[in-house]
Chains A and B, each alone.
Chain A
Amino acid sequence: MPSSAVAGKSPGSALPPRPGKRHGERLGLILPTAMFAYIVRRILSTIPVMAVVALFVFGLLHLSPGDPAAIIAGDTATPADIARIHKALGLDDPLYVQFGSWVWRLLHGDLGISIFTNLPVTTLIAQRVEPTVALTISTVIVSVLVAIPIGVLAAWKAGSWIDRTVMVFAVLGFSVPVFVLAYVLIYLFAVRTDWLPVQGFVGLDRGLWPFLSHLVMPTLALAMVQAALIARMTRASMLDVLAQDYIRTAQAKGLPSGRVLIGHALKNAAVPIATIIGIGIALLISGVVVTETVFAIPGLGRLTVDAILRRDYPIIQGIILIFSAAYVLINLLVDLSYTFLDPRIRY
């Protein structure tokens, strides 16, 4: 978050240069050290967060009322099934031993064994990761490319019909659920016109067009919410910046509007926009699970849904850990990017 980043800067960097010390020395020595310390601190701060995630994922299975093995096995299970799951999950050991060995295996990259398929969860996740990553990246690219220009435009023409139209679309984007939008797209582009394949996923190795054509609809469905989120934040952040004195100065000295908007305003409005892109990843992950179901894309979302239906808890645990780690990592990168986006932020 930008506020915490600014608040967290060391007081030393804001002081005027001390007499007897050259300006360049101060810049060259103190700043990178402070920044390095900040980066290390920020990276270390992800450890307690991931520890809580791990505790939650582990605790869920054991704090829930009843025998977790019986819940996983379902209503039609025989005692032998339950005993097998007991053994597979190591449920007969004391809780702290279970937690210790679970974390130990986790730190060695072992997410356990799937109850249904008997395959390692890491293998199952690795098999499914490509479509999900492709879909996520294409969605972020499309939503950023669409949302930032229209957000800038809305702020520039604040109060006009352009602004109002953009805001209406933003509210609509928040409100139409991703699977409803997905079905509207399927109806328009696959059922009625046959322009795009209805569902499935084709890897990049089978050619660029097959790969892209399968990605178009899921990406559009997912990008709507993201674009709404980013466009609203871009507009809000731009409105703040456009009210600043230096924007008036830039306009007064006769710079063309485009240069003022992009070079002066957008550059200074970038931090909140980057933040919202990072936070929006959580929403995107939720959307991916649904979108993959609608379009029958064999990704992590589809794996999650299959795991729910089979109550394959080790897979659900693994997926929550992977998705949360990805979310934490992306937001770490966003936080670290503030230094480049806004050189005034010093730590």
Chain B
Amino acid sequence: MARAARRSSATQELEVIAPSKLAIDNVSKSFQSASGTVLALDRVSLNVAEGEFVCLVGASGCGKSTLLSIIAGLEKPDSGTVLADGKPVTAPGRERLVMFQEPALFPWLDVFGNVLFGLKLKPNLSRKDRHDVAKYYLELVGLNHFEHANIHELSGGMKQRVSLARALAPNPRVLLMDEPFAALDALTREQFYGDIQRIWKERHKTIVFVTHNVREAACLGDRVLLFSPRPGRIQDEFKIELPRPRDINSVDLAAYSSRIKKSLKILRQSDTVARE
């Protein structure tokens, strides 16, 4: 009896939950640097629908990662608000999990321990539930045989898979991805494009994905937002209306990415002119 109840709570934990919508309104953020005050974000407003996959593209240092940190609740905006499902974001929380560019995995835990970390912080889960859930996500990212591997033994791609499993395990409503594939080789990255689209569909998450790779953004996003640097603003927006799953090497995709690149180029030129 008790066992049946427990099993059902693991099943419950693995249920696909409603993704959340994000409303970012007039968010500004500046930093002090050696050369003075840098306006990283200048009155940025953005709405992300439930279950939408949004990609933020821009040159490095354009504030897109800062925006992601603010959505995560890791940084506070100077002004403006971020609402997740209508509630203001004031602190980090497991409804919005982040996957960083570096794997940020804990080297003192093995693969399984890393995936369990966030689950242990969730109340009302028995030991068995946590194990079942962790196993499920490791399988989802294709690492079911590496449960007890040490982190330093994994390749860069495998580390990011563990990272993804760790971020997915507490069943967040929003997944924030900060250039997660930037440090990987091209072949490994292409495998991820297929996997992330499959997982997004299966687990039904709202995803905000930061990258400086235009083609990657066009391949993954429902929408691609172009950021301009100093001050960080959303300059342009592209709706990608291609069927999924999308192949990074498809011709249709190339057409989209060249349009985005053109806009990016105009942006760079105006930026250079402005600075001169």
Q: Do A and B bind each other?
A: no
